[in-house]
């Protein structure tokens, strides 16, 4: 029985849960880890495999970009194998279209800065509006040629590494950790390596540490030399990635949605493959749900999370600067808690696929939610909600969060539901699977 009904090509009307949920949910591989591993494997070359590759648009954009660069890549289901490495001496001009994939566009821009030939990176209009300045300036400071053809420090951009070198570089951490990660991923191939200083109130630092973890798995010399409130200093010595068989962890960001569904509806869910010592900072969502009133149990093969429907779901005050992708998820759970919730440390997410503060609040208010946008976050006061037609603003995380709201609020319709293909193409099918486990079905 279909539990979600397509109203038109661009709208999906969502059914509510009839009771607590009891299920096991397999989530796709981490696109964040996968894209980092694919860059390393592209440079390592023949003999490298990356398994548990997710099927989302960002990963597809990365693989398409690597193939455009001339890499010989084969794929069987969720396993990608490399038969060649990137030819850095090649002088051919290469054009890459990254669609809406911010991470992929930034990583591929840095990778192109190692090549002798021109690499042009472009994307759809929404991606052209994403901030790129810190990355383009940093690559220029490392000797790469970087030029934007329409608007300075934006896509489309043309890069080449005819004069690229290493050295010491300082970046601000105030915009996106993806800039630091992009530079780090190519740094072993800089002639003198790299000393990277990341200054200021660091946002999404867990993603930088994830990058280091993947680089270490591919056999290069990376050392965190200093780490305090004001400075993160990382040294990367010159070298080459070694051919590696790399397994991508289940995506902790994706796992937040079935976990949040249990927090909202009650019941129990098991997420196989998740690890408490994960490379992913978003694994911190599990203890956050504990703080709100859920019970968790880490086992050898995954994590179980449960909540008695009669137990209180508590509001929370939380700094999400290291789990910023989960702001819409936490906001959705907070709508059903007892007591106010506040989310801080995330002013920078106004420059994601959408304005993830303003656009999220605007849409939730259509359901009569009491959501206040703060300078660096949100304040949420729970109250009775109503159904509404919610716009996704080209943002997969808004769409998936609205799917959580609709578990308890009838009459919710999501515009452009296919936007979830960016990270979890089967998200709506997973949601229906969870609904089928509702008591009384």
Give pLDDT tens digits for 283-335: 999 999 999 999 999 998 999 999 999 999 999 999 999 999 999 999 999 99
pLDDT in tens, 227-261: 988 899 999 999 999 999 999 999 999 999 999 99
Do 57 and 13 fall into the same domain?
no
Among 247, 279, 305, the domain-final residue is 247
Question: Does residue 401 fall inside a structural domain?
Answer: yes
Which of 230, 247, 264 finishes a domain? 247
pLDDT in tens, 129-167: 888 999 999 999 999 999 998 889 999 999 999 899 999
Entry pTM: 0.89
Secondary element (H or E) of residue 260: helix 252-265
pLDDT of residue 441: 43
| Active-site pick, 325, 359, 395, 416 | 325
Domain count, the chain: 2
- What is the average pLDDT across 269-282? 95
The whole-number pLDDT of residue 225 equals 94
- Domain holding 157, by residue range, is 31-247
Say whether 370 is catalytic: no
Average pLDDT of the segment spanning 359-387: 97
pLDDT digits (tens, 9 = 90+) for 97-130: 999 899 999 999 999 999 999 999 999 998 998 8
Residue 435, CA atoms < 13 Å, CB-side half-sphere = 20
Altogether, the residues listed in the chain come to a count of 441
Q: What is the spatial distance between Cα 381 and Cα 342, in angstroms, rounded to a whole number?
A: 9
Asked whether residue 441 is assigned to any structural domain, the reply reads no
**Residues 170 and 71 grouped into a single domain:** yes
Q: Report the candidate in 330, 384, 392 with the shortest Cα–Cα distance to residue 360.
A: 392
Residues 24 and 163 in one domain: no
Q: What radius of gyration, in Å, describes the C-alpha atoms of the chain? A: 22
CATH classification at residue 188: 3.65.10.10
- Asked whether the predicted pLDDT for residue 3 surpasses 60, the reply is no
**Range list of β-strands (E), 152-204:** 157-160, 167-172, 194-199
Report the phi/psi class of residue 416: left, alpha or beta, with left for phi > 0 and alpha for psi in -120 to 50.
Answer: left
Query: Which of 247, 276, 301 is at the close of a domain?
Result: 247
Same domain membership, residue 82 and residue 117? yes
| Angle made by CA atoms 109, 113, 115, in degrees to the nearest 5 | 120
Residue 382 lies in a domain: yes
Q: 280 and 383 in one domain? A: yes
């Amino acid at each position: 029985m279909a539990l979600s009904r397509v109203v038109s090509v661009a709208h999906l009307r969502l059914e509510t849960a009839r009771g607590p949920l009891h299920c096991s949910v397999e989530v796709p591989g981490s696109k964040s880890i996968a894209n980092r591993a694919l860059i390393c494997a592209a440079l390592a070359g023949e003999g490298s495999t990356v398994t548990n590759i997710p099927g989302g648009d960002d990963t597809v954009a990365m693989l398409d970009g690597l193939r455009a660069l001339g890499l010989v890549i084969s794929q069987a289901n969720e396993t990608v194998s490399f038969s060649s490495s990137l030819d850095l001496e090649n002088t051919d001009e290469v054009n890459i279209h990254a669609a809406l994939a911010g991470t992929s566009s930034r990583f591929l821009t840095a990778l192109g800065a190692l090549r002798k030939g021109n690499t042009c990176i472009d994307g759809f209009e929404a991606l052209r509006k994403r901030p790129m300045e810190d990355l383009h300036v940093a690559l220029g400071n490392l000797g790469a040629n970087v030029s934007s053809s329409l608007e300075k420090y934006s896509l489309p951009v043309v890069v080449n590494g005819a004069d690229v070198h290493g050295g010491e570089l300082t970046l601000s951490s105030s915009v996106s950790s993806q800039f630091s990660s992009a530079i780090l991923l190519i740094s072993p191939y800089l002639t003198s390596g790299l000393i990277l200083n990341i200054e200021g109130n660091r946002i999404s630092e867990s993603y930088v540490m994830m990058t280091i973890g993947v680089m270490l798995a591919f056999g290069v010399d990376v050392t965190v030399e200093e780490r305090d409130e004001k400075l993160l200093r990382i040294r990367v010595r010159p070298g080459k990635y070694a051919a590696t068989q790399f397994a991508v962890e289940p995506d902790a960001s994706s796992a937040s949605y079935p976990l949040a569904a249990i927090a909202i509806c009650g019941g129990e869910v098991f997420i196989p493959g998740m690890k408490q010592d994960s490379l992913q900072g978003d694994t911190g969502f599990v203890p956050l749900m504990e703080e709100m009133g859920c019970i968790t149990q880490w086992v050898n093969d995954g994590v179980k999370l449960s909540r008695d429907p009669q137990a209180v779901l508590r509001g929370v005050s939380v700094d999400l600067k290291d789990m910023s992708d989960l702001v819409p998820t936490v906001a959705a759970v907070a709508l059903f808690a007892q007591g106010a919730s506040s989310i801080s440390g995330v002013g920078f997410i106004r420059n994601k696929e959408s304005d993830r503060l303003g656009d999220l609040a605007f849409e939730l208010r259509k359901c009569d939610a009491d959501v206040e946008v703060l300078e660096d976050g949100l304040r949420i006061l729970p109250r009775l909600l109503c159904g509404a037609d919610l716009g996704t603003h080209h943002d997969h995380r808004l769409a998936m969060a609205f799917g959580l709201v609709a578990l308890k609020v009838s009459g919710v319709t999501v515009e452009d539901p296919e936007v979830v293909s960016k990270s979890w193409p089967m998200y709506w099918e997973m949601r229906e699977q969870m609904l089928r486990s509702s008591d009384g079905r």
